[in-house]
A and B are shown apart, each in its own frame.
Chain A
Amino acid sequence: MVHPLDPGVALRILRDMIRIRAVEEAIADRYAEQKMRCPTHLSIGQEGPAAAVGAVLGRQDLAVSGHRAHAHYLAKGGDLPAMIAEIYGKATGCSRGNGGSMHLVDEAVGFMGSTAIVGGTVPVGVGLALSLSVARRPGLVCIFIGDAVLETGVFYEAAGFAAVRKLPVLFVCENNLYSVYSSLEVRQPAGRALAEVAGALGLQASSGDGNDPRAAYGLLKSAADRVRNGAGPQFVELATYRWREHCGPLFDNDLGYRTEAEYLAWKARDPIPRLTEELRSEGTLDPAWLATTQAEIQAEIESAFAFADVSPFPDQALAYADVSSWEITPFP
């Protein structure tokens, strides 16, 4: 069932996509300055799923993610200056500089953490859902995963438990066809449909085009509604594509692991102009709104980078302060 999209929701999704793209491009443009000294995975090209999820989740809902999490964090309402400062390794970063790009957190908005080990937060998300269910609190947990997560054992183990306990979990799988430079063909059997695998595990599953933000929103909204109505864990697979290199600011089609033609075909399916055009032709989009929005976003980004740049580095004296409360002797 396709949801008729409320114009306010559509504009929100468009704004989020534009904002995520602009943030990621600002990171890419500045990466060569060597002030962001950590592995950084950008989401340029795959803003559709994140923005659509952002419009589906409420403030009481929680989310976890993996290595490529900037878009998820921002769509969930995560603090932008704290994210940029984190990538800069500054004390004002969301993880006080200890985690970098791959360890984002903003519990105030329900973004409970992203980590760098593939599949690592899947059971954590299920555990968060258990906590909601035991305490009979409203809300659901969105677990962002990539296509490679369906290769990890922990996904099957965690999904099984979520299904047994009918936990309020929404798995959102961004299938961008690759894990680093390895295509699906060398990792998973030919013709496998990820959603069918999820279905066989007891997750109610659907799949669609992540670069069609309205369709994605429709699938996600229906799935989230089912979770909220007590139907148990849901799985939504969204097809999308990463434009830049797996890790870092550049393009890497020259390496030969994927073709330029494939990249161009996906680039032509850019979710941002697509939704922009749809809204324009429906008369929902005021050109002045677009211009103001872009200007607001640019100003916000400039100020986030300025904040990160002038923020202090963490104090060496506190370098080992956050290891464990059990440690009674100070570290050397």
Chain B
Amino acid sequence: MGDHAIPLMTFAQAVRDALEVALEQDPAVIVYGLGTPDPKGVFGTTLGLQEQFGADRVFDMPTAENAMTGVGIGAALGGLRPVLTHQRLDFALLSLDQIINNAAKWRFMFGGRRAVPLTIRMILGRGWGQGPTHSQNLQALFAHIPGLCVVSPATPADAKGLLLTAIFGEDPVIFLEHRWLHGAKGETPAGDHRIPIGKAHLLRQGGDVTVVASSILSLEALQAVDHVAAQGAACDLIDLRTIRPLDWDAIETSVRKTGRLLVLDPGHETGGVAGEIIARVTSRCWESLRGPPRRLAMPDAPESTSPALTQGYHVRAEHIAAAIGDLLGRPLESASLSRRDHPHDVPGNDFQGPF
């Protein structure tokens, strides 16, 4: 690509880049949250921003998640574009009142006069004993709320593009960021790169099975889909990028072509997003379906701290490949995908705890 080479960034760098672009572009943007200016800079995603843009616009906060969310809402009504970050989604649960009763409803309950352009980043933990209250992906809980937009990117470029769209949008956005993606690298366009909210991304094309995924499961699915392609099973792989609003067009168009659907859900199975997708597809694409759709989700149980109990807890590439085989009614080799050079509860050998 010569002069126009697209920079390679980690997911964390891409998030930081989006924040830098936003702060640079619009003095109304503010960035805050627990540890935002600290030496670790929220896994590197906010490093140096306070030095660059000043403590008025980039700042730490008290351990007061609910109040600081309401403060963000007020600041947004006053003309700012706040970005609030939580080091774990689990901590944001303290702010459900402000998110659901105020942010999500302000536009509606005041007759559409005013919206709240507030972006709330929530980092999803996993593994290394994050356990019951440091590892939850409650995407369905937020996606259940009219008035909220829920974004869950899988790649650095999407993280950057969607974050910028969220920040400069009109309404509140829950931005879900998987901790294990922070180190993943990808080509990430420089400057004000934006990706529309509500548009899925077709990562692979194939006529046999539709695989719908998001966040880290899109990467697991990519491995699985490429692995089964070599065995003659061709899949459409749809990376949702946005959980609410869902890109129904992309999903339905694909299912009408393949007739087979596998939905991957990083949240608990019962009441989850996969169930919603399957319900809708079943009622709208009934004649196209060649068999019952399937989902792979987290069990209906919290994540244990014990590494012994997280072995089979998360959906991995090998499970996805096997499920594709099930849908096609023929066994596909999947076991080799489970060979990894690192323990199952860390993203790689360089991760040795503690957080």
Number of A residues contacting the other chain (C-beta, 8 Å)?
Answer: 51
Cβ A98 vs Cβ B34 within 8 A: no
Contacts of B91 in A (CB 8 A): 117-118
Q: Which of A119, A186, A247, A249 contacts B59 (CB 8 A)?
A: A186
Q: Which of A97, A116, A152, A314 contacts B63 (CB 8 A)?
A: A152
Q: Mark B328-355, 1 if CB is under 8 A from A, else 0.
A: 0000000000000001010000001111
Binds B, one of A31-39, A124-132, A135-143: A31-39
**In whole Å, how far is A256's beta carbon from the nearest beta carbon of chain B?**
6
Cβ A180 vs Cβ B35 within 8 A: yes
Contacts of A154 in B (CB 8 A): 94
**In whole Å, how far is A67's beta carbon from the nearest beta carbon of chain B?**
10
* A247–B128 alpha-carbon span in the complex (Å): 13
Contacts of A251 in B (CB 8 A): none
Q: A38-B305, A182-B34 are in contact. Are A151 and B63 (CB under 8 A)?
A: yes
Residue A191 CB within 8 A of the other chain: no
Q: Which of A40, A102, A149, A255 has the most CB of B within 10 A?
A: A102
* Chain A, residue nearest B302 (CB): A323
Chain B contacts with A in 54-83, Cβ cutoff 8 A: 59-64, 66-67
* A67–B55 alpha-carbon span in the complex (Å): 29
Cβ B300 vs Cβ A331 within 8 A: yes
Q: Which of A39, A98, A102, A320 contacts B128 (CB 8 A)?
A: A39
Cβ B64 vs Cβ A37 within 8 A: no
Cβ B39 vs Cβ A187 within 8 A: no
* A319–B131 alpha-carbon span in the complex (Å): 13
Contacts of A188 in B (CB 8 A): 62
Chain B contacts with A in 126-172, Cβ cutoff 8 A: 128-134
Residue A103 CB within 8 A of the other chain: yes
* A247–B38 alpha-carbon span in the complex (Å): 15
Binds A, one of B174-182, B274-282, B307-315: B307-315
Cβ A39 vs Cβ B130 within 8 A: yes
Cβ B132 vs Cβ A37 within 8 A: no
Residue B290 CB within 8 A of the other chain: no
Residue B299 CB within 8 A of the other chain: yes
Cβ B355 vs Cβ A39 within 8 A: yes
Contacts of B63 in A (CB 8 A): 118-119, 148-149, 151-152, 179, 187
Q: Which of A32, A181, A320 contacts B352 (CB 8 A)?
A: A32
Q: A186-B60, A248-B355 are in contact. Are A39 and B134 (CB under 8 A)?
A: yes
Chain B contacts with A in 24-60, Cβ cutoff 8 A: 34-35, 37-40, 59-60
Q: A102-B131, A151-B62 are in contact. Are A316 and B308 (CB under 8 A)?
A: yes
Contacts of A149 in B (CB 8 A): 63
Q: Mark B107-130, 1 if CB is under 8 A from A, else 0.
A: 000000000000000000000111
Q: A37-B353, A257-B39 are in contact. Are A320 and B305 (CB under 8 A)?
A: no
Residue B90 CB within 8 A of the other chain: yes
Q: Mark B308-330, 1 if CB is under 8 A from A, else 0.
A: 11011100000000000000000
Q: A98-B132, A119-B63, A331-B301 are in contact. Are A256 and B39 (CB under 8 A)?
A: yes
Q: A39-B353, A103-B132 are in contact. Are A316 and B309 (CB under 8 A)?
A: yes
Cβ A89 vs Cβ B307 within 8 A: yes
**In whole Å, how far is A41's beta carbon from the nearest beta carbon of chain B?**
9
Q: Which of B307, B311, B352 has the most CB of A within 10 A?
A: B307
Residue B253 CB within 8 A of the other chain: no
Residue A283 CB within 8 A of the other chain: no
**In whole Å, how far is A115's beta carbon from the nearest beta carbon of chain B?**
7
Cβ B39 vs Cβ A319 within 8 A: no
* A102–B125 alpha-carbon span in the complex (Å): 15
Cβ A100 vs Cβ B305 within 8 A: yes
Residue A99 CB within 8 A of the other chain: yes
**In whole Å, how far is B157's beta carbon from the nearest beta carbon of chain A?**
30
Contacts of B307 in A (CB 8 A): 37, 89, 313
Cβ A257 vs Cβ B299 within 8 A: no
Contacts of B288 in A (CB 8 A): none
Given A188-B62, A323-B302, 19 other A-B residues pairs in contact with their CB atoms under 8 A: A34-B352, A39-B130, A39-B353, A89-B308, A97-B309, A98-B131, A98-B306, A98-B309, A99-B131, A117-B93, A151-B64, A154-B94, A180-B38, A182-B34, A186-B59, A257-B39, A314-B306, A319-B309, A331-B299
Can you report 26 residue pairs joining A to B where beta carbons are below 8 Å apart? A31-B354, A32-B352, A89-B304, A89-B308, A90-B306, A93-B306, A97-B306, A97-B308, A102-B131, A118-B91, A154-B94, A179-B34, A180-B35, A181-B35, A181-B40, A182-B38, A187-B63, A248-B353, A248-B355, A249-B354, A257-B39, A313-B309, A319-B313, A320-B300, A323-B301, A331-B301
